[in-house]
Structure 1
Amino acid sequence: MRIYLAAPLFNDIERSFNERLTSLLEPMAHVFLPQRDGKLMRDLVDGGMPLEAARQLVFEADINAIRRCNYIVAVLDGRTIDEGVAFEIGYGRALNKVCLGLKTDDRTLLPSGDNPMIIAGCKKIFANTIELVAWLRGGFLSARDAG
């Protein structure tokens, strides 16, 4: 099984959260963590790559990883959902991937909650990592038993 972890990765706190979540998921599946396994704009541009080329390389690496995954686990924390995460959910759904949300933060911009395209785009949304990991373990164990 393969999981693509869709999450903001623009500061130390976000990257640390992503690494901790990955460590919980990796005993069950191969996890593609973009900050570790993909390309980062900052690093590419700092290394001398032109901005447009860096954008294209990041895009291609991430969509190729989404194509190869079974599940997308999307971190939905914040007042608004990260635009990259929103794209990754939509792209994954278009490819019939199972999208799961993780929203440990109760802030939302709209009084009605998060955007319905995100909420409806996720098969299930979990309030904490314990619930997410337990659900995935159940799904992986069922898939193994059936196969």
Structure 2
Amino acid sequence: MKIYFAGPMFAQADLRYNEYLVEKIRALDHSIHVYLPQENGAINDKTAYADSQMIALADTQKVLESDLLVAVLDGAVIDAGVASEIGVAYAKNIPMIGLYTDTRQQGADNHKKLTALNNTAENQFHYLNLYTVGLLKLNGSITTDEQSFLSLIQDQLN
């Protein structure tokens, strides 16, 4: 199975988290081949040069070759590249699994947090772009923890 890993990749924390998750995915089964864009030095060695078209062509080709796209949705907003990769996968009907671990999503049944939504600038929940989320959900699902994320990937192998 070919998996495309879409995730933010410009901060050291992002790079390390991506590596950590991909290691766990690869350990699920020897038949899994994960494309992690940050491992593609031809376009993502930030000390070298790759223009926008080189990046777009290389990553789009890998999305189109994949059997599954997995995406990390965490961050202040969904990373622009991740959103683009989700759009390509949706257009080609490639199954997707999203991982969204933002802790602000907790407490949806807390009356005080819900009431606070009526007060200007007191939203205690995190917002994700609904268009991007909708595309992902139309071709897959979103989970909130790593174990469920890995289990959903494992299910795709069967």
Would you say same fold, with TM above 0.5? yes
Secondary structure of the corresponding residue to residue 74 of structure 1: strand
Query: 1:22 matched to which residue of 2?
Result: 22
Flag structure 2 segments of 5+ consecutive residues without an equivalent.
Answer: 106-122
Query: 1:92 matched to which residue of 2?
Result: 89
CA-to-aligned-CA distance 1:75-114 (integer Å, 9 cap, x gap): 0001211111001001110011112110111358x86832
Partner Cα distance (2:52, 2:19) in 1: 23
Flag structure 1 segments of 5+ consecutive residues without an equivalent.
Answer: 46-52, 143-147
Query: 2:34 matched to which residue of 1?
Result: 31
What is the TM-score normalised by the length of structure 1?
0.82
Query: 1:138 matched to which residue of 2?
Result: 155
What is the TM-score normalised by the length of structure 2?
0.76
Percent identity for Structure 1 against Structure 2: 32
Secondary structure of the corresponding residue to residue 51 of structure 2: helix
Query: 1:63 matched to which residue of 2?
Result: 60
User: 8 Å contact 1:7–1:75 — kept in the other structure?
Assistant: yes
User: 8 Å contact 2:104–2:126 — kept in the other structure?
Assistant: no
* Runs of 4+ residues over 3 Å off in structure 1: 110-113
Equivalent residue pairs, number? 133
Which sits farther off after the overlay, 87-96 or 115-124? 115-124
- Residue 61 of structure 2 aligns with an amino acid whose one-letter code is N
Larger radius of gyration: 2
Q: CA RMSD in A?
A: 1.9
Deviation at 1:134, TM superposition (A): 1.1
